[in-house]
Amino acid sequence: MSIYDLNVTARDGSEVSLADYKGKVLLIVNTATGCGFTPHYEPLEAMYKEYRDQGFEILDFPCNQFADQAPGSDDEIHEFCQVKFGTEFPQFKKIDVNGENADPLFALLATEKPFEGFGKGFKNKALEKLAQANNSKFGEKAYIKWNFTKFLVDREGNIIARFEPTVDMDDVKKAVAAAL
């Protein structure tokens, strides 16, 4: 199965085929408005502005499964992102990325590029413990460990990288530039 075989739900409830993005480099992200990583919206938007004319898209999927950090409605979340960070990239309907109701896109992404850890350091170890406690209820379907996990997809639909939220955004940008 390819990501191009899947549909996702737009904020307005309409279905969007990921095949519409064939030929583009994609960065697919699960997000939250009340997370310690919410400031990632700023470098994401800067990347989007810099590279969108080269065939780059960011697909933003809000998720409230991590310590209830995205409690608002789809419209409230969208307004927050536009006002606070000036986001222009596509933001989709809030979804689950773990458990029985996990969106098939994130199940596919995480199966192709599984979690390999948050990295070294005290903060990363603390996040790993928090994530383990939060995600223990999802068992084998704990696909995503925390908000702002990013997946890089090349122009042919291949999932080429996974970036945990602890990865420096400059490293994400370098990988995006290389994929373009």
The DSSP code sequence of the chain is --GGG-EEEBTTS-EEEGGGGTTSEEEEEEE-TTSTTGGGHHHHHHHHHHHGGGTEEEEEEEB-TTTT---S-HHHHHHHHHHHH---S-BB--B--SSTT--HHHHHHHHHS------SSHHHHHHHHHHHHHHGGGGGG----STT-EEEE-TTS-EEEEE-TTS-HHHHHHHHHHH-
All structural domains of the chain: 3-179 (3.40.30.10)
25-57 pLDDT, tens digit each: 999 999 999 998 999 999 999 999 999 999 999
56-97 pLDDT, tens digit each: 999 999 999 998 999 999 999 999 999 999 999 999 999 999
- From the list 18, 32, 35, 59, the catalytic residue is 35
| Catalytic residue list contains 35 | yes
In this predicted structure, the answer to whether residue 107 has a pLDDT above a threshold of 90 is yes
